[in-house]
Structure 1
Amino acid sequence: MTRLPMYFFSSDHHFGHERIIELCNRPFKDRAHQTEQLIKRWNAAVGPDDHVFVLGDFAHRATEGEARAAFDALNGTKSLVVGNHDGDAVKALPWQSHDPKAPELAVTEMLRFSHEAQEYFMCHYAWRTWPNDNKGTIHLFGHSHGALPDLGRSCDVGVDRWDFTPVSTHQLMARFQSVPPHA
Structure 2
Amino acid sequence: MDDIYLVEIRLGKTKQRIRKTASAIAGTARITRSLERHPHLTLFGPMELLPGVSRDQILDCIGSIAAGFDPIPFTLDRFEKRVGMHGSVIALSVRPSDSLKQLTAQIARALTPLTRSHNAWDGHPEQKWYHVTVANHLREQTAEKIFSALLESEAAAPPHNRQWGLFLWIRSLLEYYIHARFRPPHKPVLLDETGLRITVMNGDRILAEYDLLEKCWITGDLRHNSSRWEQTLERYRRNAGFELTTPCPADPGDILLIADLHLGHANIIPYCSRPFRAGDTVTMDRVLIGNWNARCTEHTKIFHIGDLCYGPHARPPQEYYTLLRGDAVFISGNHDRPDPGLAPFIFIEHEGMQFCLVHDPADAPEDFEGWVIHGHHHNNDLRNYPFIDVEHKRINVSAEVIGYVPASLSDICETIRDRAKTGMNDPVLVNYPYVS
Q: TM-score, normalised by structure 2?
A: 0.34
SS at match of 1:164: coil
Provide the C-alpha distance between the structure 1 equivalents of 2:274 and 2:315, rounded to a whole number of angstroms. 23
Q: How many aligned residue pairs are there?
A: 162
Instruction: Report the secondary structure of 1:44's partner residue.
Output: helix
Query: 1:115 aligned to 338, 350, 358, which one?
Result: 350
In the TM superposition, 1:28-177 aligns within 5 A as 28-29=276-277, 30-61=280-311, 65-88=315-338, 91=339, 107-127=342-362, 131-133=367-369, 137-146=370-379, 147=381, 148-149=385-386, 150-152=388-390, 153-177=393-417
1:54 Cα shift?
A: 1.0
Counterpart-to-counterpart distance in 1, 2:274 and 2:413: 27
Q: Which moved more, 1:10-19 or 1:146-155?
A: 146-155
Flag structure 2 segments of 5+ consecutive residues without an equivalent.
Answer: 1-250, 426-436
**Residues of 2 paired with 1:65 and 1:37: CA distance?**
16
SS of the equivalent of 2:348 reads strand
Higher RCO by CA contacts (8 Å cutoff, separation 6 or greater)? 1
The question of 1:17 aligning with 2:272 is answered: no
2: CA distance, partners of 1:176 / 1:43: 26
Structure 1 gap segments, 5+ residues each: 93-105
Q: CA deviation at 1:20?
A: 0.3
Letter in structure 1 aligned against 2:344: E
- Measured in 2, the distance between the counterparts of 1:66 and 1:111 equals 23
Structure 2 CA distance for partners of 1:179 and 1:154, relative to 1, 3 Å = farther
Larger Rg: 2
Q: Distance in 2 between matches of 1:63 and 1:79?
A: 23
Shift of 1:65: 4.1
Residue 25 of structure 1 aligns to a residue whose secondary structure is coil
From the superposition, tell whether residues 174 and 5 of structure 1 become closer, same or farther in structure 2 (CA, over 3 Å).
closer
Between stretches 120-129 and 74-83, larger displacement belongs to: 120-129
Q: 1:79 to 1:62 in 2, by over 3 A?
A: farther
Q: Is the 8 A contact 2:258 2:398 kept in 1?
A: yes
CA offsets 1:32-69 (integer angstroms, 9 cap, x no match):
00000001111122222112111100111256745333
The equivalent residue for 2:232 is none
Q: Which runs of 4+ in 1 moved over 6 A?
A: none
Please report how far the alpha carbon of residue 8 of structure 1 lies from its aligned counterpart in structure 2 after TM superposition.
1.1
Whole-angstrom CA distance in 2 between matches of 1:131 and 1:160:
29
Contact 1:121-1:130 at 8 Å conserved across structures: no
Q: Structure 1 pair 174/116, CA: closer, same or farther in 2 (3 Å)?
A: closer
How far off is 1:7 after superposition? Answer: 1.4
Q: Distance in 2 between matches of 1:145 and 1:132?
A: 23
Q: Counterparts of 1:75 and 1:62 in 2: how far apart (Å)?
A: 24
More helix by share: 2
Give the counterpart letter for 1:112 in structure 2: F
Amino-acid identity (%): 22
- Please give the alpha-carbon distance, in whole angstroms, between the structure 2 residues aligned to 1:65 and 1:24: 21
TM-score under structure 1 length normalisation: 0.77
Task: Say whether the 8 Å CA contact 1:15–1:62 is kept in structure 2.
Answer: no
- Give the Cα separation in 2 of the matches to 1:81 and 1:10: 11
- Is this contact kept in 2: 1:5–1:49, CA < 8 A? no
Counterpart contact for 2:266–2:313, Cα < 8 Å: no
Report Cα offsets for 1:1-56 as digits up to 9, x if no partner: xx524311110000110110111110123100000000111112222211211110
Query: Judging changes above 3 Å, is the alpha-carbon distance between structure 1 residues 40 and 62 closer, same or farther for their aligned structure 2 residues?
Result: farther
| 2-structure distance, mates of 1:131, 1:47 | 35
* C-alpha separation in 1, matches of 2:316 and 2:276: 17
Report the equivalent of 1:98. none
Q: Distance in 2 between matches of 1:9 and 1:20?
A: 20
Greater strand share, 1 or 2?
2
